[in-house]
Amino acid sequence: MADATGDAQTYLDGLLVVEGCSVEVKGLEARDGQIYAIEDDPQILLRPAAPVRALALELRFPEGYQGDGVSSYYATVVSDELSEQRVLRPPVLGKRLLTRVWEFDEAVTCVRVDLTETCGPTGISLARMAFAHTMDEGLDALVGDCSDTRGEGLVVVTHDLGLTGAPLLAARISEEADRQGSPVVALCIGQGDGGVALSYWESCIPLLELHTSWRISRDGSEGDACDMLLRHLAARGFGATVLNTVVSAQHAEVFKRAGLRVVSLIHETRETLTIHDMGDQPPRAARYSDSLVFPARSVLEGFRLLAPDIPGKVEIRPQGVYLQESCRDDGALAPLLDELGIPAGAPVILGSGTPELRKGYDLFISAAIELTRIAGDVAPYFIWAGCSANLLPGDELLPRLADQVRKSGIAGRFHRVEFLPSTVYAALLNASSVFWCTSRDDTFPSAVLEAMRGHVPVAAFAGSGGVDVMLEDGRGVLVEGFSVGELARETHRLLVGEACVDVQEARRWVAEELDFSDYVSWLRGLCAREEVVSRPLSDIEGQGSFAEASSAPSSPPDGGEDEGDFAGEPPTKRWGGLRRLARRWS
């Protein structure tokens, strides 16, 4: 046990560093250069001298550490009587460094941190903890010291953190803008950590959830704490916000009121907005956005029907391939195919996405049945890769379609797999003969762009969204009228060599026209504009060239931020946020 008070104190032979509070360590000791639990349920009790609003925690793992991090790590906020009030369980990264800052719903006077629940090694070679005692200090801790950014900071807002297209896009915009030199803070409107949260923490980008203590809700209401947060960001040099999707953009007024320039990225089609009863959101987004960016003209035209009055500037530019080209794990492909019963070298038709009606999962199955009938004994195998976790409990679509697969006789050739690691998916895509995009409504499907980039022929339904532009001029096969029979016939012609797709031209087009770093550089320039351009809707026609030059620099920053060395005594100056913390302590 240790108990001390000071600005920065060390415990456990220097493996635990705590700033500005009394500390009590139970059931932990230093052993072989790491923190070791000598009993089950060890605890670190932190008692600051005054109530605190946020806790920063940094965990370091040894170089070359191969474990999964702390398997049962969590932090528990407790009262003076040590009765649990709130349990915060972040995902654990199997990396060398983990940084996390939690804001508390109210000021607390005691925090218990449990690094593990069981006796044994934790794998942690260094742990740092520090508190923020006031709301301003807590906000600075959460967002970092960005007062010298000259208004170049970006606030990127995502509606949730699930492993789906829009949240992944928001994370990639944040990472690329950070790489290009813009300080970034990410805000999430929806609930739940979700798998995309890992991307922010790995990139050391502060991530705050607005459904917790900042109190912003999907219906547009907000509290004083949220307004305080946004005004704090504006005062610290965050001059603009990127609101990703209409679900985020409906809150544009809140960000505009705080003094931020608002750029809204609109991906949803009118059909999606109408089906999900979201028709009231576009007018709110349009009224308070300085700029609205649409990936395709069809999306703009549908948006206009719900929000005819657009006072801000309108841009048409697709985001391009926001998922990095993954290294292929070809070694993992053979076990997957063997598990599915697919012979090596057999033709495979691949589809991907959430297995739902919008993505056309049912059309994929119907087309597979038809192609199997046409091809007979030499029919290909069919794989749909996509996570079903976002589907509503009790939805009967999947069991109904599974029954259709069984009754149609293609069960031995059809397989649905859940979300695959990117390296395995890349290998599967590379081994596929044709990629099917069977979506009924898909603005600018990134899965199609990945296939085009990977030299895989793509067949899709015309009129479903961005594929009309993506696959024109011979870059893919477009099937009219959502005809699964025609999709099957055209695919059979590709498989037997009676038809072909110019896959080289498809890859060239993606690389030259849809470079993601260029898109983010352009987006940063759009965020930096000081004037709001208002014009009648008739003047919008003719916009939409992807090639508009951006005034924002595209090169990454050259560092220069506090590169202090931790080899000596612990620093006595309180840290200035996740960005500085990670760069200084790594």
Q: Where are the beta strands (DSSP E) in 149-250?
A: 153-158, 184-188, 207-209, 238-244
For 479, the token pair is 């099937």
Q: Which H helix or E strand runs over 437? A: strand 434-437
Maximum distance among all alpha carbons in the chain? Answer: 79
- CA nearest neighbour of 252 among 287, 217, 299: 287
Residue with the two structure tokens 């900042």: 214
pLDDT score recorded for residue 12: 92
> What DSSP assignment string belongs to 537-566?
GGGGTT---TT----S--SPP---S----T
Cβ neighbors of 210 (< 8 A, separation 6 or more) are: 187, 188, 189, 216, 226
Higher pLDDT, 347 or 389: 347
Give residues with Cβ within 8 angstroms of 313, minimum separation 6.
290, 291, 292, 532, 533, 534, 535
pLDDT digits (tens, 9 = 90+) for 219-262: 444 456 677 778 888 888 888 999 998 988 888 988 998 889 99
Confidence of residue 62 (pLDDT cuts 50, 70, 90): low
Given this model, what pLDDT does residue 545 score? 31
pLDDT at 146 over 90: no
Which stretches within 293-396 are classed as H helix? 297-306, 330-340, 361-375
Average pLDDT in the 445-464 region?
Answer: 93
Lowest mean pLDDT among 8-12, 23-27, 387-391: 387-391
> What 3 state SS string does 72-98 have?
CCEEEEECCCCCEEEEECCCCCCCCEE
Q: Rounded distance, CA 428 to CA 423, Å?
A: 9
**Token pair of 274, please?**
């109408």
Q: Which bin fits 122, alpha (ψ -120 to 50), beta or left (φ > 0)?
A: alpha
Over 60: is that where the pLDDT of 521 sits? Answer: yes
Q: For residue 328, what pLDDT band results from cuts at 50, 70 and 90?
A: low
Helix (H, G, I), strand (E, B) or coil at 359: coil
Mean pLDDT of 25-37: 90
Mean pLDDT throughout 102-113?
Answer: 73
Residues in the chain: 586
- What's the pLDDT band for 343 if we cut at 50, 70, 90? very high
Which band of pLDDT confidence, cut at 50, 70 and 90, is reported for residue 465?
confident
Q: Which two tokens stand for residue 1?
A: 């046990």
As given in the structure block, the two tokens for residue 138 are 């807590």
- Among residues 154, 33, 55, 270, the alpha carbon closest in space to that of 527 is found at 154
The model carries a pTM of 0.70
Q: Which two tokens stand for residue 336?
A: 């997957």
pLDDT at residue 142 in the model:
56
Amino acid at 556: P
Higher per-residue confidence, 324 vs 276:
276
